[in-house]
A = this chain, B = another copy of it.
Amino acid sequence: MTESKTVEADDTHRHLRDVERLLTRLRLVDTLVHRQQMPHQALVENITHRQNLGRLRRKLDQLHPADIACILEALPLDDRLFVWDLVKSDKDGDILLEVSDAVRSTLLDRMDPEEIRAAAETLDADELADLAPDLPPEIMQDVLASLDQEEQEQVRAAMSYPEGTVGALMDFDMVAVREDVTLEVVLRYLRRFDALPDHTDKIFVIDREERLRGVLTLETLLITDPETEVGAVMQTKQIISFSPDDRADAAANAFERYDLVSAPVIDSGRSVIGRLTVAEMVDHIREESEAEILSNAGLREEEDIFAPVIRSVKNRWAWLAINLVTAFVASRVIDLFEGSIEKLVALAALMPIVAGIGGNAGNQTITMIVRAIAMGQVQPSAVWRLLRKELGVAVINGVVWGGVIGVLAWLLYDNAELGMVMTAAMTLNLLLAATAGVLIPLIRQRFGRDPALGSSVMITALTDSGGFFIFLGLATLFLL
């Protein structure tokens, strides 16, 4: 027994550096060949080159598919495909599952149908269903045909559930026993397995019709006298189970709240049809929060950072277009007051401050309300209370910050009335922002929309146009 090797948490960065170093060395030789300073024959026979290639291949062989996925995402396209060709084919399927959609398509483009088929055949039914939308249909057909009847049905079942549901995330591997056997029998039964399904922390107890009767945790199995019957120690109360139509978000919340490792998925007749595991939930939580952060910044999907320019433009154009429309509307509002600005040009310099503070405060309010809705903390009865509170915050901010800026405007332009209009406009725009910040997400929720999506654009549009209108309007009324 030799000293055990420990994998540390930050190893991926190290692996990436190692791979990049080896790639650089290989490229150096390539460059020499390219410049005709070394005949091609020499390259192939070049010992250093072969050594480096061997080292790179061994390095890749040692790595976990998730680490290779991470490295592939971090490499520019040419290096990425070079490394992809070197990866052992038995890892192809797992790696394709791990990489982002954008990078997956670059890898699939490189593979011939036979390779794709081989990779797909190493996957479980639920994994295959995840990959299916990205595979060429005729290959998917072949792979499906190669599966047995039960697996084919599982793949079809998994693909039939829409994205964002429990059904789309569940797997089909599980261990089930009857309640009238002893734990000793269960222990003997388990010894006949070569491996247990990933993340097995409980065994499902089912009756003859495959209906869920209870769950037997591995903990109970291990700490209880083996002569005991399953039915006597299985858990039957408050078993957390899911329906395949449940929202994946709700399931992820339940996994987080109740610290679950796995949970049964049952149909309307209480038959066990699949299983959710914490690994899928962790991925889901991460993907959801990534998607939220990306969409807040106007990116439709995760981008391959080395994607061609045109693909990035496509990912980002919609958000820019929407924002341009709202900016154009704001510009028309300003244009209404052309005459006022001509008479008092200071208005042009001050108006972005009024619009800006409204946008910032509105985004604070809306972010807080959206989060509270997502966590199920906002009941319709709470609307007035929330609105009162946010209006209170707006008044304080308006008086304090509006006051400060008002005094500055007064001093800079030697015009006390201008300062007062500034303070009043900032306060009014903050009140508008607070009202919209509470109502926009709640109204969107009432109409069954995602309260988060596009809320930021809407409130910024409102506080920009509204801010310009309020400020220039007040100025026109009181100053000119």
Contact = CB atoms under 8 A, between A and B. Distances in A.
A185 interface: no
A161 to B, nearest CB: 15
A5 B237 contact: yes
| Number of copies of this protein chain within its complex | 2
Given A4-B239, A241-B6, A368 B296 contact: no
B360 A7 contact: no
Contacts of A278: 261, 278, 282
A222 B345 CA distance: 81
A190 B378 CA distance: 46
B13 A376 contact: yes
A261 B261 contact: yes
6 contacts: A4-B214, A7-B239, A74-B377, A191-B225, A201-B261, A305-B386
A7 B243 CA distance: 11
A interface: dominant SS: helix
Interface in A300-339: 302-303, 305-307, 309-310, 312-313, 316-317, 319-321, 323-324, 327-328, 330-332, 334-335, 338
A70 interface: yes
A262 to B, nearest CB: 10
Contact of A238 (B5, B242, B330, B372): B5
Residue of A67, A293, A369, A404 ringed by the most chain B CB atoms within 10 A:
A293
Given A198-B259, A236-B1, A312 B371 contact: no
Contacts of A309: 389, 392-393, 396
A272 to B, nearest CB: 12
Given A16-B379, A316-B397, 11 more contacts: A1-B231, A9-B253, A10-B247, A64-B258, A193-B222, A199-B259, A200-B219, A259-B279, A294-B371, A303-B368, A320-B364
A250 B7 CA distance: 12
Interface string A181-203: 00000010011011110111100
Interface stretch (A119-127, A133-141, A346-354): A346-354
A8 B242 contact: yes
A240 interface: yes
A352 B355 contact: yes
A408 interface: yes
Interface stretch (A33-41, A48-56, A110-118, A283-291): A283-291
Contact of A401 (B261, B320, B379, B385): B320
A242 to B, nearest CB: 6
Interface in A257-289: 257-259, 261, 266, 270, 278-279, 281-283, 285-286, 289
A7 B246 CA distance: 12
Contacts of A299: 364, 367-368
A223 interface: yes
A319 B236 contact: no
A327 B345 contact: no
Residue of A179, A324, A351 ringed by the most chain B CB atoms within 10 A:
A324
Interface in A360-402: 360-361, 363-364, 366-369, 371-372, 375-379, 381-382, 385-386, 389, 392-393, 396-397, 401
